[in-house]
Amino acid sequence: MSPQTFTKQYINGEWKTGSSEKTVENVNPYTNQTIAIIQSANEQDLDEAYKAAEASQKDWQRVTPGKKQAYFDALLGVMTKRKDEIVDWLVKESGSTLIKAEAEFQSAYGILRESASFPTRMDGQILPSNIPGKENRIYRTPKGVIGVIGPWNFPFHLAMRSIAPAIATGNTVVVKPASSTPATAGLLLAELFEEAGFPKGVINAVVGRGSEIGDAFVTHPIPKLISFTGSTEVGSHIGELAGKHIKDTALELGGNNAMLVLEDADIEKAVQAAAFGKFLHQGQICIALNRIVVHESIHDQFVEALKQKVEGLQAGDPAEKQTVVGPLINQEAAERIQKDMNESMEQGATRIVGGEGSGNLMQPALLINVTNEMPIAKNEIFGPVAAVIKVANEEEAIQVANDSPYGLGGSVFTKDVHRGVEVAKQIETGMIHVNDQSVNDEGHVAFGGEKQSGLGRFGGPFAIDKFTTVKTIGVMSGYREFPF
């Protein structure tokens, strides 16, 4: 199959035209030009994909750890060879700047390298028993078939973050990529696995709108776990469907991440970190900074330095090296962000730079005099607007950070590292970083949220736990005596 098209489904090692009458249009968010039109998958295609995954799983599970690792080594080689193509797809399909696309490639590569170690880390236990002559053996095994729903914002990395660990631990996968990024969240990945020589059925990719196959993807009887990365609203629906059918879920959902800049922070370093954590990929990242909470004694100095930084960020064509802020994913996103920004200004916020929009492109903006109740602070922005909230002390900063239904990421800036850790402990979030921004995702480290930001953890041993199950086999060396 030509790497330039990606117009077909990938099921059981074959590229086939979707059976639905509907289509998915793959559009470049910067040029608004159509990249490709894909004939959608319907429930029949989905059923075929799940059955292919189920049929291949038992054989894949029995492949020796060394052989599995050899497949992953081959995949790492294919990724390296096709890096430029992967970056190009990220730029044209998701509006990634070259800076972001490079970061995404490296993150996905890191996840792949970490996952390659999983086949030899599938350990069990032998536990004692209170019954004489008995021992309890705990065996770790794959769950079976995993359904992966990939997002559009970091499509390649975040789909790989579920696919690679699932396959490395002996499962097989069906992935449904986001309709906005069908190649980088699914079809391109499938082709890379295919080129690396993975057996048929180990990975399958079906492209179709959630309205047509979304619920069936979750409720189908074959998948044992649904891994979803996306909005809290959709994640809640998936969790409800999965719970009804007693399926496990891995849900990485929305965030409203706060950076706390305490009065003793290094202002220059904090500004540099804030700009990166806020404006990478136009802020369209679940762990991007949504609120910047600054102590009043350094507020004005911080804002002036951040204003100068924001004024120097170039917005435009994501394919140009100097571009820092590229396009939003679509016009709907641009309109939503402008609405939240305008309503916040009506409520007293002040825009001191940026915010102008043209099509899907929006100039990076900085708002001050923001309160936690304003839409720009209360909602997940997912756009290039930095909202600064002034606080009087550390206690208020912690209260503001926690005053959100989300709890995914965060950041604390202070020259006193111990103080930073003590503050970080008080933030209700799955991840938080001292003297760093919030956009961090290392393959061996726990990744996930609290509250409405999701369930479960990705990364290293936490991913192994999520994509496997354990079975207890009690073994008698002799025979028990029973009372009747």
Give me the active site residues, please.
Answer: 252
User: Cα(460)–Cα(403) distance, rounded to whole angstroms?
Assistant: 30
Which residues are CB-contacts of 438 (< 8 A; sequence separation ≥ 6)?
257, 259, 277, 287, 288, 289, 409, 410, 411, 431, 432
Phi and psi angles of residue 208, each rounded to the nearest 5 degrees, phi first: -170, 155
User: Cα(147)–Cα(227) distance, rounded to whole angstroms?
Assistant: 6
User: Cα(164)–Cα(71) distance, rounded to whole angstroms?
Assistant: 11
Q: What is the rounded (10 degree) CA torsion for 330, 333, 337, 338?
A: 50
Q: What is the DSSP string of 327-357?
A: --S-HHHHHHHHHHHHHHHHTT-EEEE---E
Tally the C-alpha atoms within 13 A of residue 436's C-alpha that lie toward its C-beta.
Answer: 12
User: Cα(339)–Cα(334) distance, rounded to whole angstroms?
Assistant: 9
Q: Are 478 and 131 in contact (CB under 8 A)?
A: no
Strand partners, 352: none
